[in-house]
Structure formats: C-alpha cells, structure tokens
Amino acid sequence: SQQGEEDPQALSIQEGENATMNCSYKTSINNLQWYRQNSGRGLVHLILIRSNEREKHSGRLRVTLDTSKKSSSLLITASRAADTASYFCATAVRTGANNLFFGTGTRLTVIP
C-alpha cells in the first residue's frame, strides 16, 4: 500500500511556537501534498512539493521532502490558535490526474 503515516498523531503547542509534522510513504512518488482539515469540514490544499524538489515555502509553511528516506515534513512557524486542525500528507504516484493517497494525519492543537 502506498498510504503514508504521519507522526506525531497528535501535537499540542503554545501559540507562537513552531509545529513540525512528519510524513512517511512507501513507494516512489511524483509529488507530495499537504492538506488541512478543520474538524468536520473538507480538506484544504496547503502546498505541493514535487519529487525533484527538496524544500518549499509558502507563507508560514515550510515543507521538506527526502525521497531517499521517503519522508516529508511540514513546519508551521509562529503558530496561531487558528492553525488548530488536522494535517494530512497525500502522495501522487505519477504525473497527471491520478488519485491521492492520504496519510493518517496529525491533529494539531495550538493553545492561545
């Protein structure tokens, strides 16, 4: 199975701290994406990193990808209470319009 695993499963931090979540997957990929899900809501696309990229930034988000270790990390800097949500990594194994394989998710709680 391609489906990945995130760790930690749950993370609780104080507002202003940085949050780091990790994702591991099993087979080769074309790209890896991170999504956010507020409780009971849909998934919101955050950032995509291609297999030939090692790091990408978007605002307070920093994503790294290590294809040799089949792992990725998502760093949220200067966290805010509004960042409280579940974060999922999802992999696409080839180019084009293929389905995504989601990880198990990290539940992030940012305490004001």
Partner 1 sequence: EPEVTQTPSHQVTQMGQEVILRCVPISNHLYFYWYRQILGQKVEFLVSFYNNEISEKSEIFDDQFSVERPDGSNFTLKIRSTKLEDSAMYFCARLNEDRDRNEQFFGPGTRLTVL
The nearest distance, CB 55 to partner 1, in angstroms, is: 18
The nearest distance, CB 96 to partner 1, in angstroms, is: 5
The nearest distance, CB 15 to partner 1, in angstroms, is: 26
Q: What are phi and psi of 7, to 5 degrees?
A: -145, 150
> Counting Cβ atoms within 10 Å, is residue 106 exposed (0-12), middle (13-18) or buried (19+)?
buried
Of the candidates 18, 2, 6, the one whose C-alpha atom is nearest the C-alpha of residue 78 is 18
The nearest distance, CB 84 to partner 1, in angstroms, is: 17
Interface with partner 1 by CB under 8 A: which residues? 3, 30-31, 33, 35, 40-45, 48, 88, 90, 92, 95-105
Q: Which is nearer to partner 1, 15 or 61 (CB)?
A: 61
Q: Which is nearer to partner 1, 34 or 79 (CB)?
A: 34
d(CA 85, CA 99): 23
Q: Which is nearer to partner 1, 76 or 101 (CB)?
A: 101
